[in-house]
Amino acid sequence: MSRRRGSSVDWIFNRTRSAHIEYPLLTSFVALEIIFLLIPTLIVVFVSLESRSVVIFPPSSLSLRWYAQIPNHPQYIEAFIRSVEVAVMCTLLAIPIGISTGIGLIRYDIRFGNVIQVYLLLPFTVPLVVSGVILLILFGRLGVIGELWTVGIALTIINIPFMIWSVTSRVNALNPELEHAAKNLGADELQTFIYVTLPSIMPGVITGSLIMFVLGMNEFIVSLIITTPQIVTLPVELYTAIRANISPLIAAIASIYVIVAFITVYLADRIVGLEEFLRS
Amino acid sequence: MSPQTRVTQLKWRLEDALVATKRRVIPSEIYQSPPSWVGYLLISPGVLLVSSLFVGLLILTWYSFLTFDPFEFIVYELTTESWTEFLTEPAYYGIFWRTLSLSALITVLSVGLAFPYAYLTIRVRSAFMRKTLLVGLFVPFFTGIIVRAYGWLIVLGKNGLVNAVLGVFGIGPVRFIGTKAGVVIGLLQIMIPYAIIMLAPAIQSIDRSLERAAQNLGANPIMTFRTVVIPLAKPGIAGASIVVFTITSATFAIPGIIGAGRVDFMANLIFKTLFSLTNYPLASSFSLGLVAVTSTIILIIFYLVGTGTLGISLEGEE
């Protein structure tokens, strides 16, 4: 991991030194792309600060009144809590499954290991809308539609490859000699796992968990298909609200997601470094 | 005894108890030479979880041959009715064709637009610029599709940002909502981050001295790009194309919200068949058709350009 974390003086120095731009043409083109990528995200926050009750450009005066309105609409708060619940559930399920699958695949001699690895990517190759239909039929036949935990399970199924991926790459990078050394020094298998294996695959687990949680919070199409009105999650609730009308209240609620995204990016950068995400 | 030692001692005791229990439950012989069944046991939860989708595909196949009845929904009698309806009704394969052609267009555009972004992110020396690029990439990526679709409604709407700006110059209002152009713009913004994430590792693995060598031999930046960078980034381009194409062809939210029911994709058709018509057999055959066509196209890309970065990750990073 090559993370540069110099003092703030270093940072200012580096910044001023790079005042001459390395790839001028490329940079200006990419700058336009950044605007394109960020505009629909940031505009939601901007509009949520509108003081009138219609979304028109340019906004009149800025206020936080729509945020103060959120508590008067408990259905959004309930949907938000449900979203957090299913996201936490799918993350907690994915952690042990991801770790054991990762270790099993890399550390043990498994016949057709490559085939199984490809098979484990099935949730990526089946289009999400089809996974939704499949889970609707499966949960329907089991008679459990309308229970919140089904959404948690569904999220685990469709996103588990992310966890397996990030854990597997860490197990791969871990030298088995380290584990052997611990065992030679008298450590029990369990102790070896807790003190040697687990700490070194931890960055992979954290990356995977972060991805699982954020995707769980944001998951839409499968939830739209398998939820009943009593257990809708926030993205589904927002979708219904958007179709009804464009009010700054919806923007205020949607802004929560933008804020969560910024926090996630900040945390990801602090814990593992954003560059890590581009390495897999 | 200081409280800290006590905590440590407690931790040790707990650990001893754990180890003792584990030894009693799991016979230690299995560790002498780890037999592979332990490995199979370890991977079984993951495999079982994924198998629900595999079983589901089989059930879908079965459903697609069942009979639809408007009153009883499903009659357990085998028929090829749904498949015939799917393949003979122009409205249905029209939507299928639109999904595939727009997905192909978006794949080409987003991989093309992602390339300079990914290249700059990897190659730029300034740490500040790299961080800006990474934030510009990951904040939208983590924001979720519904919020971004909503953002596009505000940007592209009749009284939206774009039309407000155009209005200053006396142009417009231009209609984006409910048009193909609007859907393509919205989908590009969703797909470019995926493409960048898939391209970046491939660009990272290109030895920079090769580019310098080309330049020393008199190639201009564009020639270097075309003859050195792009050919060496081919695995990344393949991986990015596959990921973007698969996700786009199954997309629901952007056509649903920006397309406003006028630019439906397969996913919207499947959803409507399921919930408005409650025709499960027909929805099943649509679903299988989508799976079949996207997998075929993925296989074709695999065949033409290799497995790309996807393949590298499959083999594990050795």
- pLDDT confidence of residue B52: 92
What are phi and psi for residue B75, nearest 5 degrees?
Answer: -110, 130
CB contact under 8 A, A108 and B36: yes
Residues 229-288, chain B: which have Cβ within 8 Å of A?
246, 249-250, 252-253, 256-257, 266-267, 270-271, 274, 280, 283-284, 287
What is the value of ipTM here, to two decimals? 0.81
- pLDDT confidence of residue B14: 85
Alpha-carbon distance of A212 to A86, in angstroms, equals 11
From A101's Cα to the closest Cα of chain B, the distance in A is: 4
- Closest by Cβ to B189, choosing from A36, A225, A269: A36
CB contact under 8 A, B126 and A22: yes
Bridge partners (DSSP) listed for residue A62: A50
Alpha-carbon distance of B2 to B88, in angstroms, equals 81
CB contact under 8 A, B137 and A214: no
Alpha-carbon distance of B218 to B225, in angstroms, equals 13
What are phi and psi for residue B164, nearest 5 degrees?
Answer: -65, -45
Query: What is the SS3 assignment for B178?
Result: coil
Cα–Cα nearest to B239, from B305, B183, B300, B145: B305
CB contact under 8 A, A235 and B144: yes
pLDDT at residue A215 is higher than 80: yes
- pLDDT confidence of residue B314: 41
The answer to whether residues A106 and B316 touch, using CB atoms and an 8 Å cutoff, is yes
Least confident interval from A88-97, B207-216, B267-276? B207-216
Bridge partners (DSSP) listed for residue B74: B68
Residues 26-55, chain B: which have Cβ within 8 Å of A?
31, 34, 36, 38-43, 45-47, 49-50, 52-55
pLDDT bracket for residue B106 (50, 70, 90): very high
Bridge partners (DSSP) listed for residue B67: B75
Give me the residue label for tokens 């996201």. Answer: A87
Cα–Cα nearest to B186, from B220, B150, B234, B139: B150
pLDDT bracket for residue B255 (50, 70, 90): very high
- pLDDT confidence of residue A2: 44
Q: Work out the average pLDDT over A37-54.
A: 83
- Please tell me if residue A95 touches chain B, with a CB cutoff of 8 Å: no
Show the tokens assigned to A148.
Answer: 């919140």
Among chain B residues, the shortest Cα distance to A29 is held by B116
Q: What is the pTM of this model?
A: 0.82
pLDDT bracket for residue B229 (50, 70, 90): confident
Among chain B residues, the shortest Cα distance to A101 is held by B43
- pLDDT confidence of residue A155: 94
Higher confidence at residue B56 or residue B306? B56
Higher confidence at residue A118 or residue B196? B196
Among chain A residues, the shortest Cα distance to B119 is held by A26
Least confident interval from A174-188, B248-262, B279-293? A174-188
pLDDT at residue A153 is higher than 60: yes
Give me the residue label for tokens 């555009």. Answer: B109
Cα distances (Å, whole numbers) of residue A128 to A10, A37, B247, B287, B300: 46, 23, 8, 10, 21
Chain A partners within 8 Å of B148 (Cβ): 40-41
Task: Note the helical H segments in A18-73.
Answer: 24-48, 65-69
- In tens, the pLDDT along A98-131 reads 999 988 888 887 777 788 888 888 888 888 999 9
How many DSSP H helices and E strands does chain B contain?
17, 2
Cα distances (Å, whole numbers) of residue B109 to A57, B106, B151: 30, 5, 21
- pLDDT confidence of residue B317: 34
Higher confidence at residue A192 or residue B191? B191
Cα–Cα nearest to B177, from B147, B160, B153: B153
- pLDDT confidence of residue B298: 78
Chain B partners within 8 Å of A220 (Cβ): 144-146, 252-253
pLDDT at residue A3 is higher than 50: no
The chain-wide mean pLDDT, for chain A, equals: 83
How many DSSP H helices and E strands does chain A contain?
14, 0
Give me the residue label for tokens 């609200």. Answer: A241
Alpha-carbon distance of A221 to A93, in angstroms, equals 21
Residues 122-151, chain A: which have Cβ within 8 Å of B?
122-131, 133-138
Chain A partners within 8 Å of B122 (Cβ): 278
- Above pLDDT 70, what percent of chain A? 88
Query: What is the SS3 assignment for B93?
Result: helix
Q: Which residues of B55-70 are buried (b: 16+ CB within 10 A; e: fewer)?
A: ebbebbeebbbbebee
pLDDT at residue A53 is higher than 90: no
Alpha-carbon distance of B177 to B262, in angstroms, equals 9
CB contact under 8 A, B164 and A260: no
- Count Cβ–Cβ pairs < 8 Å, chain A vs chain B: 327
From A87's Cα to the closest Cα of chain B, the distance in A is: 13
Q: Work out the average pLDDT over A255-280.
A: 82
Alpha-carbon distance of B243 to A187, in angstroms, equals 44
Q: Work out the average pLDDT over B59-74.
A: 82
User: What is the torsion angle, in degrees rounded to the nearest 10, for the CA atoms of residue B281, residue B287, residue B292 and residue B293?
Assistant: 120
From A178's Cα to the closest Cα of chain B, the distance in A is: 16
- Taken as a whole, chain B contains a residue count of 318
Q: Work out the average pLDDT over B165-180.
A: 85
Alpha-carbon distance of A133 to B298, in angstroms, equals 22
Chain B partners within 8 Å of A156 (Cβ): 49
Higher confidence at residue B29 or residue A1? B29
The chain-wide mean pLDDT, for chain B, equals: 83
CB contact under 8 A, B46 and A33: no
The one-character DSSP state at A62 is B
Show the tokens assigned to B182.
Answer: 């609007």
Q: Work out the average pLDDT over B152-169.
A: 85
Q: Which residues of B101-130 are buried (b: 16+ CB within 10 A; e: fewer)?
A: ebbeebbebbbebbbbbbbbbbbbebbebb
DSSP B121-155: HHH---HHHHHHHHHHHHHHHTT-HHHHHHHHHHH
- Please tell me if residue A186 touches chain B, with a CB cutoff of 8 Å: no
- pLDDT confidence of residue A278: 74
